[in-house]
Amino acid sequence: MPAIGDVARLAGVSKATASRALSGRGHVAADTRRRVQLAASEIGYIASPDAASLVTGRTKNIGVVIPFVNRWFFGAVLDGIERTLLAAGYDLTLYNLPVSGPERSRVFEFFLARKRVDAVIVIGVDLTPGEIGGLERREKPVVCIGGSGEVTARLTIDDHGVGALATSHLLHLGHTRIAHLAGVGATSQPASVAGLRAAGFLETTDAAGLPLLADESSAGGPGAILVEADMGMPAGFAAGLQLLGHPAHRPTAVFAASDEMAFGVIRAAERLGLSMPRDLSVIGVDGHEHAELFDLTTIEQSPTEQGRLAVEVALRMLGGEGGGGGAPDPLPDSGAPMPTRLVVRGSTARPAVA
Amino acid sequence: MPAIGDVARLAGVSKATASRALSGRGHVAADTRRRVQLAASEIGYIASPDAASLVTGRTKNIGVVIPFVNRWFFGAVLDGIERTLLAAGYDLTLYNLPVSGPERSRVFEFFLARKRVDAVIVIGVDLTPGEIGGLERREKPVVCIGGSGEVTARLTIDDHGVGALATSHLLHLGHTRIAHLAGVGATSQPASVAGLRAAGFLETTDAAGLPLLADESSAGGPGAILVEADMGMPAGFAAGLQLLGHPAHRPTAVFAASDEMAFGVIRAAERLGLSMPRDLSVIGVDGHEHAELFDLTTIEQSPTEQGRLAVEVALRMLGGEGGGGGAPDPLPDSGAPMPTRLVVRGSTARPAVA
DNA sequence: TTGAAAGCGGTACCAC
DNA sequence: GTGGTACCGCTTTCAA
């Protein structure tokens, strides 16, 4: 495997000049540069990133922590991150984080703590103070997308607002018995995405005078129902069957915390012979690429764009003079929430007259 | 950031001894080892992988090349790979490969060519001879899952057999007008996954005496119809609408090259008011986690397990003495195809009597 | 069993 | 503008 010394020899210059000519740093005569570049491609020279990292302290590699690969939102974010990093000449090292357990701490205490990643992007994870502290101690910039934890840079939508908006939409249509399919941890982790969306739902129904019902089998009539489930489609389906199974207790509208859950609810409704939106209105969150196909009303966000931005922020934190401590806010719009948009489709409508 | 010299000083030993004590290579007195380990954890020492790579020539990092993150099959494979690598102390560097264009060559000629990855796992990509040659020249073991290209290690199912099996299933049920929704490139790339499945379909229908119809609007009656589309759900939906739109030309069964396509077809059928399996039978491929939810008959494979195995193979190739040239076959079962299984659900049945 | 010293492949500082 | 050289942090002979 050719090293820079070989290139230098072939081009008749010193290693130092070869390095400058190839990396573009420092001044080299145009002619010399061409000779060096020619020599390099001649022998198929490619710089060893490890050697460069060793001396510069920069790896040009970003660690990405994600709880699931196979959920649309996360995949889309990952996609945005990947493209942006690639264009910037950075590598992406992926860590598929187990919810908890020894594997999780190994990721933070070993993999991410090493000098192999310049910065870390964390997607949809509720970070513990210890995890954040460890990264800070190693002076690694951390950019979060969603999730929770006291971190300096976080890109997020207004999840509380999303919960409120979705709920208002249903209320305005005239629904008075509304269920919210919240993500797991909505009550135990109030600061999490699931928790915030649920809070938005609860406050809005409460403000509308709807009582919070103990569970889905509470007697009919107006009220708000809260159910926690995994944010995927199968769990949405199961919860949907449960929720919609008994005609007497059935809500007329469901606000699902994710589009995938909503798809599950829609299929459950179909399975039960309910017609939409006549018998049931459903609204989701995300702007899933299949939402149109399911004719699902949803609150769109742009995960790919969030991924792109997260990289930009991370790179900016890296670019700033080393520390990042006193640097000006690297977040766009002073950390304002990312935009969302209510897209009304055929899955929501006024309830059938009682 | 503490270096090994700091650990050595604190423990009162030389750098060499500290290295041996921490890495486990070479003999160190049990007592010395403890002292070193204590010192290391005392100051929060974590070895720099770059420095180690530089001297050992091993990065403990595997490059993974994937065409989409947001397709269930690929996500599931990625998941299997990730878990296995993590357990082995390896990093995963992800490359989301554009179908073609300059970005694609940059991945192969720059990112993967560097000494940053020990080996490469390529999922569902049709590799060109040039791409393979480049990797071989740099002596990087390559393990493929699906896709095509003349590579030494490839894990794959019997895609031709899958196409034949799915088709036979429909034929045995009595269907005589069958459409195959093939992946893009089925005809132009006969060795690709899409091509092989389509070939299995065509041979089987041909053997059954069904004529190949020019397109889906060919006159009714027995025949085989071949349509190419993207392997995702939206494309499946669109193709489904097209294919099933005209009652006179409608096939009674559809074999979709992927479960996601099949889901799309199912929704298209529902949208058109067709009832399944009365008016239409649908079979897919993959064993998607939502297949049960759609009551979809499918030919299951195990992407996660394939990912796990790919890592095992790659690590074995790495473990073998350097070259890999004359090493014994690192593939399990001498490269026999990975298992698949027909799972019959409610989406396939005998056709309604004509 | 342990230590001294030579690199791995680059970069960057310093002279020239 | 270019070359010499120290050094990034670690592993690994080779001697002791």
> 10-residue block means of pLDDT along chain B (354 residues)?
95 96 92 96 96 96 97 98 97 92 94 97 96 95 95 96 98 97 96 98 98 79 96 98 93 98 97 95 98 97 98 91 52 85 98 78
CA pair distance B89, B130, nearest whole angstrom: 31
Q: Which amino acid is at A286?
A: D
What is the CATH topology of the domain spanning B4-55? 434 Repressor (Amino-terminal Domain) (1.10.260)
CA pair distance B70, A74, nearest whole angstrom: 9
Whether A83 contacts chain B with CB within 8 A: yes
CATH of span A61-157+303-317: 3.40.50.2300
How many percent of chain A have pLDDT more than 70? 96
Q: Is A142 helix (H, G, I), strand (E, B) or coil?
A: strand
- Exposed / middle / buried, residue B37 (Cβ in 10 Å: 0-12, 13-18, 19+): middle
Sorted by where each begins, the domain ranges of chain B are 4-55, 61-157+303-317, 159-300
pLDDT band at A326 (very low <50, low <70, confident <90, very high): very low
Structure tokens at B288: 């998607």
**pLDDT tens for residues B251-282?**
999 999 999 999 999 999 999 999 999 999 99
Topology match between the domains A4-55 and A61-157+303-317: no
B268: closest chain A residue by CA: A293
pLDDT value at position A216? 66
Question: Which of A274-288, A316-330, A340-354 is the most confident on average?
Answer: A274-288
Helices (H), chain B: 4-11, 15-23, 30-42, 49-56, 72-87, 102-106, 129-137, 159-173, 193-207, 233-244, 259-271, 303-319
pLDDT value at position B327? 54
Phi, psi of B177 (to 5 degrees): -125, 100
In the 55-94 segment of chain B, residues within 7 Å (Cβ) of strand D are 55-56
Q: Which residue is nearest to nucleotide C8 (CA to C1')?
A: B55
A270–B270 C-beta distance less than 8 A: yes
Phi, psi of A298 (to 5 degrees): -150, 165
pLDDT value at position A202? 98
**In terms of pTM, does the model score above 0.75?**
yes
Inter-residue contact A50 to B91 (CB < 8 Å): no
Give strand letter and number of the nucleotide nearest B1 (CA to C1').
D9
A71: closest chain B residue by CA: B70
CA angle centred on A209, ends A207 and A214, rounded to 5°: 105
Inter-residue contact B117 to B140 (CB < 8 Å): yes
pLDDT value at position A328? 59
The count of CB pairs under 8 A between chains A and B is 129
In strand C, which positions have an atom below 7 A from any protein CB? Answer: 1-13
pLDDT band at A219 (very low <50, low <70, confident <90, very high): confident
CA pair distance B206, B238, nearest whole angstrom: 27
- Superfamily for domain range A159-300: Response regulator (3.40.50.2300)
The mean pLDDT of chain A is 94
A304: closest chain B residue by CA: B70
Residues 303-342 of B with CB under 8 A from A: none
**Distance, CA of B16 to C1' of C2, in Å:** 8
How many percent of chain A have pLDDT more than 90? 88
- Exposed / middle / buried, residue B219 (Cβ in 10 Å: 0-12, 13-18, 19+): exposed
* Average pLDDT for A42-48: 96
B116–A49 C-beta distance less than 8 A: yes
Mutate to test the interface with B, among A1, A4, A48, A50 (most CBs of B within 10 A): A50
**Distance, CA of B247 to C1' of D6, in Å:** 81
Least confident interval from A159-173, A180-194, A322-336, B291-305:
A322-336
Whether B179 contacts chain A with CB within 8 A: no
Torsion angle in degrees (nearest 10) through CA of B148, B154, B160, B166: -120
